[in-house]
Amino acid sequence: MARDDLYRNPHGTLPMPDPASMPVPSWQTEKFMLGWQGLVAQTDTAFWATPIFDLRPNMRSSNTAAKQGIPIWNSYYARLYVQLFGLLAPNNNTEGLVIEYREWANTTFSTTHSPQPPRAVAPPGGGFPAQVAAYQEVVPVTAWIDATSEVMQGLNQPDSVVLAFEPVGSGYPVRYWRTELRFRKVTPDGFVAAAGGPINLQAAVY
């Protein structure tokens, strides 16, 4: 593809114009086993989270901000797919399993920027007023949402399921976004607590 298609900016604008001829977006992990943290009050817990994605890389260095996160071009159509393996083996790993997720986002910046010291008093003769300038990092924007019903399929339970996640924005995504999953193996009080089973996970964005 021609370099000009990606970086053409005859007027030197920030952000730069949208590029052309971009490749299909893709990000993926290898399959790996969840790392259970150990029993606390008869509950075993495991966490997994994506890196931060830049879902609007076409904005480039908007407002002179640094470009950060994994760029996902054409993210209007991209989704996060998380596939779980080993739900049945060796001993019905779905029993007592609770799966929850929450989304993280920021409309402008992916990490915290260190501000200069605030001005306590405006300088003589005018100038900048007293202010505290700070940029927020990517933070949780939803409570934990129960996705257990998406995994549990009753008598016909398959050993593997796929969870699909659409970024905040309903087809017109927020710029910086990540998803965090929490797995809990829960047993009622009075019963012998069970540790989390060998569940494998792999994920992709495209």
User: Quick check: is 153 in a domain?
Assistant: no
User: Which of the four pLDDT bands, split at 50, 70 and 90, describes residue 125?
Assistant: low
On whether residue 76 sits in a domain, the answer given is yes
Residue 66 has pLDDT above 90, yes or no: no
Task: Tell me, yes or no, whether 141 lies in a domain.
Answer: yes
For the ranges 10-14, 110-114, 116-120, 138-142, which has the lowest average pLDDT? 116-120
Specify if 100 maps to a domain. yes
Mean pLDDT for the chain? Answer: 80
Q: For the chain, how many structural domains are there in total?
A: 1
Q: Which helix (H) or strand (E) holds 5?
A: helix 3-7
Domain-embedded: residue 188: no
In a domain? residue 73: yes
Q: What is the mean pLDDT of residues 11-19?
A: 70
- 195 inside domain: no
Q: Which residue reads 């605030």 in tokens? A: 118
pLDDT band at 1 (very low <50, low <70, confident <90, very high): very low
Domain that holds residue 30: 23-113+133-148+165-179
| Alpha carbon distance 9, 183 (integer Å) | 47
| CB 158 within 8 Å of CB 150 | no
| pLDDT tens column, 74-96 | 778 889 999 999 998 766 788 88
Tell me if 191 is assigned to some domain: no
DSSP string, 97-150: EEEEEEEEEESS-SS---PPPPBSSPPTT--SPSB-------EE-S--EE-HHH
